[in-house]
Chain A
Amino acid sequence: MPVLEYKEVTKRYGGLTALDGVSLTVEPGRIVGLLGPNGSGKTTLLKLACGLLTPTSGEILVCSQAPGSPASHAQVSYLPERMAVPDWMTAKQLVHFYQDFYGDFRQDVAWQMLSDLNIDPALRVREMSKGTREKVQLILVMSRAAMLYLLDEPIGGVDPATRDYILSTIIANYNPEAAVVISTHLIADVEKLLDQVIFLKNGQLVLQSEVDQLREEKGMSVDALFREVFKC
């Protein structure tokens, strides 16, 4: 049974069509790269799955439930592209906040990751650098044992060394029965993780394929294929 399913989903903002009849499924145990140029609808696609937006038409199912309900929120661990955690809280308070609200939150995993990245739990978010804030937010999201992880630009603002740590963290910490959808521009960095890729262009699904199959058929890396498909 798919963890995430879009059926003919269209989303319009006034006269602008952000998504146009998108249908796709994500199976459990897969790491999926959601790729596309700016404005292709990647963030909208993820926000719809979290219930942060309502589709204009079509249907979305998250673990067989409509998105937006407390039951579906309990299954989805979402990393937004912007800082969403309150900046007056310390990392320690945030860990307790997540522990309070999510039954699947693994506090020991969070403490370990904070320690590995030398983040002082007593530091307030507003006192952290931009990169550290992003790390903290990702740590909180990945410390959950959710069924679906939706990561919107998880490595955009961090240095290459931290990027490697984060990517290994994603692999090491996600529940093997869960699916991970990663939206990013840094394809070369995430390519080695991906089982599957989804290409979006102007709100339309251009491609959904297994990475190995794609490399075999096209004879090129996902990064190279992306550059070819979305050449300006």
Chain B
Amino acid sequence: MLTKLIKQEFRATARVMIPMYLVMLALAVGARFFTDDLGDLGDLLKALCALAVLACILVNVAAMILRFKQNLLGDEGYLMFTLPVTVHQHLWAKLVAAVAWFAATLAMSLGSLCILADSTAFTIGAGGIQVGIPLVSVHGVAVAFPDNGLFLLELAVLGFVAGCTLCLQFYAALAAGYSFSSHKMALSVVWFVLLSLATTVLTEVMPVPEVEFHNNWVATLHLALWVISGCTAVVGAIYYGITVYFLKHRLNLS
């Protein structure tokens, strides 16, 4: 059932995301290859493309939040919550789709920037995921790690955990706010602020392992990435618990 829900999520969100990517890429290609012919208009196209990249990221986050609200807390909730699936499956389907779109947006944004920029100034190494090969080079200066594969894995884990936690903070606030009979959105905002404050306090008191800097800065960086991922996962798990509680026990569809 989870795969069916995920398929449904992608189908629903692709309607927004795919056209947005196409516009962003078209702008980037236009700005890159027709700048010289268009003069000032070309510069405007470049600026528009940069704005489109920013807008794409914002729309991505907004789309994932609105999707949760509309699909589970709006009228569609009457259908979704009577499907033979669990609340956990609903949540994971949304999270997997959201994080996949975040990754796609990141890739498309970098792709657009690569198209837009002078190709010799900013390149991504093709063999970046292989051990010992430069990952990124900026203006010809290679940024290399001795174990790029592990580094990329750590970044992927952190990206997944951070993406899920970001979504879950909004989901928890919306699930809590929409459990009330009236002023649902206003109360969701209040919950979001309260959760943010509570998270700030929690991260202050959380017993985070000390990451000591020593000569082996690569090992330090690896350790730091795992610690950040772990702490983020703890916060995400709390948001997850709050969301599940409200969806299971305090669901209050209009």
A13, A70, A76, A86: which contacts B85 (Cβ < 8 A)? A70
State the total of A-B contacts with C-beta under 8 angstroms. Answer: 62
> Are B81's CB and A101's CB within 8 A?
no
Interface size class of A (residues with CB under 8 A): 20 to 34
Which of B29-37, B71-79, B102-110, B154-162 lies at the binding interface? B71-79
B71, B84, B86, B250: which contacts A101 (Cβ < 8 A)? B84
| Residue of B with least CB distance to A16 | B181
> Are B84's CB and A84's CB within 8 A?
no
Is B12 on the interface with A (CB-CB < 8 A)? Answer: yes
With A13-B181, A52-B253, A88-B12 as contacts: A80 and B84 at CB distance below 8 Å: no
> Are B84's CB and A85's CB within 8 A?
no
A residues near B224, Cβ cutoff 8 Å = none
Is B251 on the interface with A (CB-CB < 8 A)? Answer: yes
> Are B75's CB and A82's CB within 8 A?
yes
Is B15 on the interface with A (CB-CB < 8 A)? Answer: yes
In the bound complex, what is the Cα–Cα distance between A84 and B12 (angstroms)? 15
Q: Is the interface of B mostly helix, strand, loop or mixed?
A: loop
> Are A70's CB and B86's CB within 8 A?
yes
Is B197 on the interface with A (CB-CB < 8 A)? Answer: no
Interface size class of B (residues with CB under 8 A): 20 to 34
In the bound complex, what is the Cα–Cα distance between A84 and B73 (angstroms)? 11
> Are B251's CB and A80's CB within 8 A?
no
A70, A73, A74, A80: which contacts B78 (Cβ < 8 A)? A80
> Are A50's CB and B86's CB within 8 A?
no
A residues near B82, Cβ cutoff 8 Å = 50-52, 73, 76, 78
> Are A82's CB and B78's CB within 8 A?
yes
Is A116 on the interface with B (CB-CB < 8 A)? Answer: no
Binary interface encoding of chain A residues 120-139 relative to chain B, with 1 for a CB under 8 A from any of its CBs, else 0? 00000000000000000000
With A52-B78, A97-B8 as contacts: A14 and B85 at CB distance below 8 Å: no
Is B139 on the interface with A (CB-CB < 8 A)? Answer: no
A70, A73, A83: which contacts B75 (Cβ < 8 A)? A83
| Residue of B with least CB distance to A72 | B84
Is B1 on the interface with A (CB-CB < 8 A)? Answer: yes
> Are A84's CB and B79's CB within 8 A?
yes
In the bound complex, what is the Cα–Cα distance between A223 and B83 (angstroms)? 34
- Tell me, rounded to whole Å, the shortest Cβ–Cβ distance linking A137 to chain B: 9
Is B183 on the interface with A (CB-CB < 8 A)? Answer: no
Is B4 on the interface with A (CB-CB < 8 A)? Answer: yes
| Residue of A with least CB distance to B5 | A101
Is A171 on the interface with B (CB-CB < 8 A)? Answer: no
> Are B81's CB and A54's CB within 8 A?
no
Within 8 A of A (CB), among B196-254: 248-253
A residues near B79, Cβ cutoff 8 Å = 80, 84-86
> Are B84's CB and A52's CB within 8 A?
no
> Are B12's CB and A85's CB within 8 A?
no
Within 8 A of A (CB), among B43-79: 71, 75-79
> Are B76's CB and A52's CB within 8 A?
no
In the bound complex, what is the Cα–Cα distance between A82 and B75 (angstroms)? 7
> Are A101's CB and B181's CB within 8 A?
no
With A54-B249, A86-B12, A88-B15 as contacts: A101 and B83 at CB distance below 8 Å: yes
Within 8 A of B (CB), among A39-93: 47, 50-54, 68, 70-71, 73-74, 76, 78, 80, 82-86, 88
Is A102 on the interface with B (CB-CB < 8 A)? Answer: yes
- Tell me, rounded to whole Å, the shortest Cβ–Cβ distance linking B151 to chain A: 39
A residues near B252, Cβ cutoff 8 Å = 53
A residues near B84, Cβ cutoff 8 Å = 70-71, 73-74, 101-102
Is A100 on the interface with B (CB-CB < 8 A)? Answer: yes
With A52-B251, A53-B251 as contacts: A101 and B76 at CB distance below 8 Å: no
| Residue of B with least CB distance to A53 | B251
- 10 more A-B contacts (CB under 8 A) besides A53-B251, A53-B252? A47-B253, A50-B82, A52-B77, A52-B78, A52-B253, A54-B249, A70-B86, A82-B78, A100-B8, A101-B4
Give 6 nearest A-B pairs by CB, closest first: A84-B78, A80-B78, A84-B79, A70-B84, A74-B84, A73-B84
Interface residues of A (CB under 8 A from B): 13-14, 47, 50-54, 68, 70-71, 73-74, 76, 78, 80, 82-86, 88, 97, 100-102
Give 25 CB contacts A-B under 8 Å.
A47-B253, A50-B82, A51-B81, A51-B82, A52-B77, A52-B78, A52-B82, A52-B251, A53-B251, A54-B250, A54-B251, A68-B248, A70-B84, A70-B85, A71-B84, A73-B83, A76-B82, A80-B75, A84-B77, A86-B71, A86-B76, A100-B7, A101-B1, A101-B4, A101-B84
